[in-house]
Amino acid sequence: MTFPPPTPGQARILWAALTGLALALILALLIGTVWGLGQVLNTLAPVLWPIAVAGIIAYLLDPVVDMMERRHVPRPRAILCVFALAVLIVGGVAASVVPHLVRETGDLVSNVPAYSTRLQERVEVWVNNPPTLVRRFFDPVKTSLTGTNAPPAGTSGASTTEARPASPLSTIDWSALLGGDSAKSAAEWLTKALGRAAKWLFGQFNLVASFFGVIAGLALVPVYAFYLLLEKRGIQSNWPDYLPVSKSGFKDELVFVLRSINDYLIVFFRGQVLVATCDGILYGFGFLAIGLPYALLLGALAVPLTMIPFLGAIVTCATAVVLAVIQYGDWLHPALVLGVFGIVQSVEGLVIQPKIIGDRVGLHPLTIIIAVMAGTTLLGGLLGGILAIPLTAALRVLMFRYVWKH
């Protein structure tokens, strides 16, 4: 039994259905690949972390090793000298900063219950006794709702004026105006939100710390970094030979794409680590200058956090503002925190980032924000946020190479 060929309308419907099915399969493959990548990273983290850290260290130290080699120092000796210098610097910083960080961390952990209670009290006081600017904003609303300006029946305007207190703003029941128990509810919600944010933040650091806590991995990091630096030229020239692809135009294309992606990775990790370190130092000194408690701890936390563009700076600033509110209970110190945040971001955007990274990553700020949010959701937490930018840059290479040619 034979079927007649489809009509032009039926053919269009069939092709549309096949196209939709193909697009759905491609989307499912992409989602499955990303999910599988996250699972692989989670499973092989104890093995991959030492190699990844060694690679980042090699990216950071390679320019110094190359500079010493250009001065006729043998490369193995140059690597050992750079390692010794790095150990001295890190050891000096650790000896001078780590005791303060340990003390501040213990003090903060012990004071969390008291700080939560104090934050709730501050919010209740501010809601019931808002600043003059907020009162002036709500006065027209209060007047329109209650009609306090209208004189009561049977009285004259003059007698009303004489009976009115000198400051009508002080007679407003702000708690009733804002909804009765809203102050207490808002304070309780803010306290719970603060606790959840702190739990998430410390959970991310505990996750990363657990990976780096593997003794064998830590011992292998300098070994991996040494051999990556020592065999740099051999790796650069011979790594295409290890690709499981026969010599062809496809292999040449694959080598070009992988080299382009590697260039983005070098720029990001080498640049972003330096930028984040500068940001952490500036935040620490800035918060210390305005008298904020736990300034060194905030500066140290800002280094790994600000490796995630935008999101890390916002988390650092929000944490500092909450601490200023709890500690001082005024508007001046939170404003000073915002001032430090603005100064650091301006210095980063105008001086640090253009000098270190420039526009070599080539991603729009909105693209970076979307990539960070997607990375933290799909790949998981702090690690996903850090990997989101280089992965997006790699995707940009592929899109410009094969999709947006024209």
pLDDT tens per residue, range 246-296: 888 888 888 888 887 777 777 777 777 788 888 889 998 999 898 888 888
% pLDDT > 70, the chain: 70
Instruction: Give me the chain's average pLDDT, please.
Output: 75
Nearest CA among 95, 97, 117 for reference residue 188: 117
Q: What per-residue confidence (pLDDT) applies to 21?
A: 92
Nearest CA among 226, 230, 254, 228 for reference residue 240: 254
**pTM (two decimals):** 0.58
Half-sphere exposure of 333 (CA within 13 A, CB side): 18
- 272 with 359, same domain: the answer is yes
As to burial, measured by CB atoms within 10 angstroms (0-12 exposed, 13-18 middle, 19+ buried), residue 385 is buried
Does residue 5 fall inside a structural domain? Answer: no
Is residue 125 predicted with pLDDT exceeding 50? yes
| Residues whose CB falls within 8 Å of the CB of residue 22, separated by 6 or more in sequence, listed in order | none
- 257 with 284, same domain: the answer is yes
HEC string of 34-80 equals: HHHHHHHHHHCHHHHHHHHHHHHHHHHHHHHHHHHHHCCCCHHHHHH
Is residue 112 predicted with pLDDT exceeding 70? yes
Query: Looking at residue 330, what DSSP letter applies?
Result: S
Is residue 161 predicted with pLDDT exceeding 50? no
Rounded to whole angstroms, the Cα distance separating 29 from 16 reads: 20
Rounded to whole angstroms, the Cα distance separating 272 from 310 reads: 12
Half-sphere exposure of 363 (CA within 13 A, CB side): 25
The highest-confidence range among 126-135, 213-222, 257-266, by mean pLDDT, is 257-266
Each residue of 176-208: pLDDT tens digit?
A: 555 545 555 666 666 666 666 666 655 555 555
Q: What per-residue confidence (pLDDT) applies to 90?
A: 80
- 225 with 341, same domain: the answer is no
Q: What per-residue confidence (pLDDT) applies to 384?
A: 67
Q: What per-residue confidence (pLDDT) applies to 25?
A: 93
- 203 with 268, same domain: the answer is no
Domains in the chain: how many in total?
A: 2
- 344 with 208, same domain: the answer is no
- 293 with 365, same domain: the answer is yes
Does residue 74 fall inside a structural domain? Answer: yes
Is residue 349 predicted with pLDDT exceeding 90? no
> 402: domain range?
248-406
Is residue 241 predicted with pLDDT exceeding 60? yes
- 306 with 390, same domain: the answer is yes
pLDDT band for position 168 (50/70/90)? very low
- 328 with 288, same domain: the answer is yes
The highest-confidence range among 63-77, 157-171, 359-373, by mean pLDDT, is 63-77
